Amino acid sequence: MRNTDFIIRRPIAHRGLHDLNRNVWENTLSSSERAIEAGYAIECDVILSSDGVAIVHHDLDLKRLTGQSGFVWQRTADEFSALRVGGTDDHPPRLSELLDLVSGRVPLIVEIKGAPGHDAGLVASVANDLTAYDGEVAVMSFDHWIIRDFGCIPQHIPRGLTAMGMKQQEMEAHFSMLAHDIDFVSYHVQQLSNPFLRFCREKLSMPIISWTVRDQETAAISAKSADQITFEGFVPEPV
């Protein structure tokens, strides 16, 4: 059984402890260092560069975060290093750079973001980066085809499903992921009361984290059905 205690030990800073992209931008080394200094766990997003390197970046389109046109799969890792996020000195870092920065100081939750037709080798690249990492780290994904590839992730590393939705067909799809050796679930904070999560939490004793919590009132609501929050835009009290 994989250790999942660290996933719910402390609030998780969504894409690092950014300031809603005013001065400290999401998924940067600066937002991660800020989270580490505050003692929070870090959630980050990872995509694949054109030359097969895992890059910490959320959007598949480059425009919002870098001001550049095009898509992430059209840029090499070196080209990402030359880009600047939000006009700051930060670039979209390689996952390996983030791992070097965190260096086990706080837990890290890596959301692997698929890009249909452009993500072959993404999970393997993440797995390669994580192989020698000694810190507390977990992986998760919205994308079911990504989760089906989690077998190459080092076996001791927890893996999870990121999800949302309340419709029956969505519940059925989520239940189907239980066949793929997942250890925890990250769910939309406004949809925590549903049969899938109740089954995971009550029958499987599976940790549940919520996303994305933006105030203490919502954190209190989350605490009724989930074990920890993924937050941004405020300083949470312990949950």
Phi, psi of 125, rounded to the nearest 5 degrees:
-65, -45
**Average pLDDT score, the chain:** 97
User: What are the structure tokens assigned to 164, written together?
Assistant: 């949302």
Across the range 165-170, mean pLDDT stands at 97
Question: pLDDT grade, residue 1 (50/70/90)?
Answer: confident
Cα–Cα distance measured from residue 146 to residue 121, given in angstroms and rounded to the nearest whole number? 10
- CA 218/CA 85 separation, integer angstroms: 29
Q: Quick check: 98 pLDDT over 80?
A: yes
- The answer to whether the pTM exceeds 0.95 is yes
Tokens representing 41?
Answer: 């766990």
Domain residue ranges in the chain: 5-231
Per residue in 203-223, pLDDT tens? 999 999 999 999 999 999 999
Q: Has domain 5-231 been given CATH number 3.40.228.10?
A: no
Concatenating the DSSP letter of every residue in 83-139 gives --STTSS----BHHHHHHHHTTSS-EEEEE---TTS-TTHHHHHHHHHTT--S-EEE
pLDDT at 237: 78
